[in-house]
Amino acid sequence: MFGIVRPCSHRLGEGLKTQWMAHLCGLCLALRGDHGQFARVVTNYDGLLISVLTEAQAERTTGRRRTAGPCPLRGMRTASVAQGEGARLAAAVSLVLASAKVRDHVADKDGLLARRPVALAARRVAASWGRAGARTGSDVGFDTAVLVDAVDRQVGIEALAGPGTPLLTVTEPTETATAAAFAHTAVLAGRPGNAEPLAEAGRLFGRLAHLLDAVEDRETDAASGAWNPLTATGTPLVEARRLAADALHGIRLALREVEFTDGKLAHLLLAHELGRSVDRAFGASGCGHQAHADGARGAFGPPQHGGPYNPQSPQSPYDGQNPYGGDGNPFGGAPSFPPPGPGRRGFWAGCAAAIGVCCTCKVCCADEFEGPWSRKRREGCLGNCDCNCCEACEICECCECCSCCDCGL
């Protein structure tokens, strides 16, 4: 799963987390239902925004959800998942863009794709995904040709770009593709008046996605010699940060013009989480939960200086009346008795534990889980958050009034 909008379970709250997972599973199952099991590998966090926006605008009906059967990624539990045209549009967009991504990697001869047999197989998969996305898009009234055209133009623009080329010239095809996808959610939801502001939000989202991808890949692209828009155009990070901030502000303004039936989740993802994605990409984020984990505060507040349990204090718990004398340890040495850590698992035992961790969904859904081989405590994908606000207000139950951040919505 890939994407720039990766919400944290600590901030979502139980209700919004259930909605978000319903759209994620709905996208995955829409891909499987229309295009087979292998198509599920293109499930991504950003693609489900299409499903979220469609449902957020639509009138409430009884057919928006269905109960899905047990799945290993949900710990073999059933779940209520999103269904309908929004999920199918998200699947179509995901397939077409994944097809383009594979072709791009083949053209760049990345990794194993530098080998001719692997590249040939990858081209066939990409072509199959492209045709499948076009069929599903046609079923919901969306012409995926605009996405294919954007991808084709992207290749030519990158070939001509050089120092001095405006960065927004490079991001334009992505902007056009995402604008079309966002705008079509208004058509599916029966709210044609929302098409224009959603197209603007989609255009700026595409710009932001392209920028953040370039920022996050800048060092690895430089090491591998791959093409990167920031390096190719000579755009400094300061300018990229300014463009990202402008795009984020524009998205928030555009969302004000959209008429939602229930826009809480869409607001959270596009107003709150997108801002945190910008901070994360530019290294300006901090996690409130991690601060507690790192010992910034104890369970009962910050450490008190001079107390008997303060490691920086020379005061003894016995106030000098140590019954053992000396350093307080009858056996000599420091008075510290750390519990022994669990031993590492062997290869096969670790493999069995890894299967168990994956099949119970702990890797993605648990706050912490035990490493299969090392047995060290590790954070789940949705537990590694960078949250620093909105924890106490349940993501601002009223989406028209957010006093906990600077979005102004």
pLDDT tens per residue, range 83-137: 889 999 999 999 988 888 888 778 777 777 888 888 898 889 888 888 899 999 9
Model confidence at 7, in pLDDT bands (50, 70, 90)? Answer: confident
* % of the chain at pLDDT higher than 70: 70
φ/ψ bin of 301: left (φ > 0), alpha (ψ from -120 to 50), beta (otherwise): left
Is residue 1 over pLDDT 50?
A: no
Is residue 404 over pLDDT 60?
A: no
pLDDT value at residue 220? 86
**3-state secondary structure (DSSP) of residue 385:** coil
Comparing 79 with 197, the larger pLDDT belongs to 197
Distances (CA, A) of 161 to 19, 72, 208: 41, 45, 19
Model confidence at 406, in pLDDT bands (50, 70, 90)? Answer: very low
Is residue 145 over pLDDT 50?
A: yes
Which residues contact residue 231 at a Cβ distance below 8 angstroms, ignoring those fewer than 6 apart?
218, 221, 222
Is residue 396 over pLDDT 50?
A: no
Distance between CA atoms of residues 360 and 349, nearest Å? 17
- Please give the single-letter amino acid code of residue 253: L
> Cβ-count burial of 296 within 10 angstroms (0-12 exposed, 13-18 middle, 19+ buried)?
exposed
To the nearest whole number, what is the mean pLDDT of the chain?
Answer: 77
Half-sphere exposure of residue 33: CA atoms within 13 angstroms, side-chain side: 15
Q: Chain centroid to CA 402: how far? A: 22
Is residue 252 over pLDDT 90?
A: yes
pLDDT value at residue 367? 55
pLDDT tens per residue, range 273-302: 999 999 989 986 544 444 334 333 333 334
pLDDT tens per residue, range 309-359: 344 444 433 344 444 344 444 434 444 434 444 466 666 676 777 766 665
pLDDT value at residue 318? 39
Mean pLDDT within 378-404: 45
Is residue 399 over pLDDT 60?
A: no
Of 279, 367, 262, which Cα lies nearest the Cα of 4? 279
pLDDT value at residue 36? 85
pLDDT tens per residue, range 65-80: 888 888 877 778 888 8
Residue tagged 């698992």 (tokens): 345
Mean pLDDT within 236-241: 94
Q: Chain centroid to CA 377: how far? A: 22
pLDDT value at residue 336? 41
Model confidence at 155, in pLDDT bands (50, 70, 90)? Answer: confident
Which among 31-40, 301-310, 389-398 has the top mean pLDDT?
A: 31-40
